[in-house]
Amino acid sequence: MTNGTNGRRRLIAGLAIAALACAGIGAAAAANDDHHHHHDESFAAGEPGQARKPARLIEIVMAEGDGKMMYEPARLEIKKGEQVKFVLRNRGELLHEIVLGTAQENLAHAEEMKKHPDMPHGDEPNARHVEPGKTGELIWKFTKAGVFEYACLIPGHREAGMVGTIVVK
Ligand SMILES: [Cu+2]
């Protein structure tokens, strides 16, 4: 890889973080179109899955109550190389999301979201929004060992407990 490519990748990664925070602006389709130009960067937690390939089904419930917000379960163990189909059930009364990444990435991303509190990002390959009472799906292949998390980066939600741990080994 040339230095030029490295520089470009860094730039793209920076742009992607900025874009993530504001993808809620305007039509989702337009925002997603804009996003797709940045998808040549890699994801820390693995790679987008392929719907045609076999996947382990994992159901995650999103909910809130008693001043807390949570995922159930809040901890997952996954084999390196395993493809997972997350079925996300929002049993709460608020919009929730799931974003897969490292804790560091999600914290940085959450800071960006705070600057744009009314603008949840679009559905990146590693993220899904789920409206109250609805169910969403996210297919992901965990190609890298490590500790990752799934979090809701809508301002205040991660802080209220909406974060789970994924151990890949
Ligand atoms: Cu949430």
How far does the centroid of ligand 1 lie from the alpha carbon of residue 168, in Å? 24
Residue-wise pLDDT for 99-123, tens only, equals 999 999 999 988 888 887 766 566 7
Q: How confident is the model at residue 70, as a pLDDT?
A: 97
Q: Evaluate whether 121 touches 20 at the Cβ level (below 8 Å).
A: yes
Q: Evaluate whether 80 touches 144 at the Cβ level (below 8 Å).
A: yes
CA distances from 103 to 6, 59, 123, 151, 155 (A): 24, 21, 19, 9, 15
Structural domain including 97 reads: 3-168
Q: How confident is the model at residue 122, as a pLDDT?
A: 67
Q: How confident is the model at residue 120, as a pLDDT?
A: 59
Residue-wise pLDDT for 137-150, tens only, equals 999 999 999 999 99
Residue 102's CATH number: 2.60.40.420
How far does the centroid of ligand 1 lie from the alpha carbon of residue 153, in Å? 7
**What is the pLDDT confidence band of residue 21, given thresholds at 50, 70 and 90?**
very low
- Taking residues 125-143, report their average pLDDT: 97
Residue-wise pLDDT for 60-100, tens only, equals 999 999 999 999 999 999 999 999 999 999 999 999 999 99
How far does the centroid of ligand 1 lie from the alpha carbon of residue 104, in Å? 18
How far does the centroid of ligand 1 lie from the alpha carbon of residue 155, in Å? 8
How far does the centroid of ligand 1 lie from the alpha carbon of residue 161, in Å? 9
Q: Evaluate whether 46 touches 52 at the Cβ level (below 8 Å).
A: no
Q: How confident is the model at residue 156, as a pLDDT?
A: 93
Domain count, the chain: 1
pTM for this predicted structure: 0.74
How far does the centroid of ligand 1 lie from the alpha carbon of residue 6, in Å? 34
**pLDDT at position 151 over 60:** yes
Q: How confident is the model at residue 115, as a pLDDT?
A: 86
How far does the centroid of ligand 1 lie from the alpha carbon of residue 159, in Å? 10
How far does the centroid of ligand 1 lie from the alpha carbon of residue 106, in Å? 13
How far does the centroid of ligand 1 lie from the alpha carbon of residue 152, in Å? 5
Distance CA 130, CA 140 (A): 17
Distance CA 10, CA 94 (A): 35
Residue-wise pLDDT for 32-49, tens only, equals 444 444 444 579 999 999
Ion ligand 1 residue ranges (Cβ < 5 Å): 96, 152, 154, 157, 162
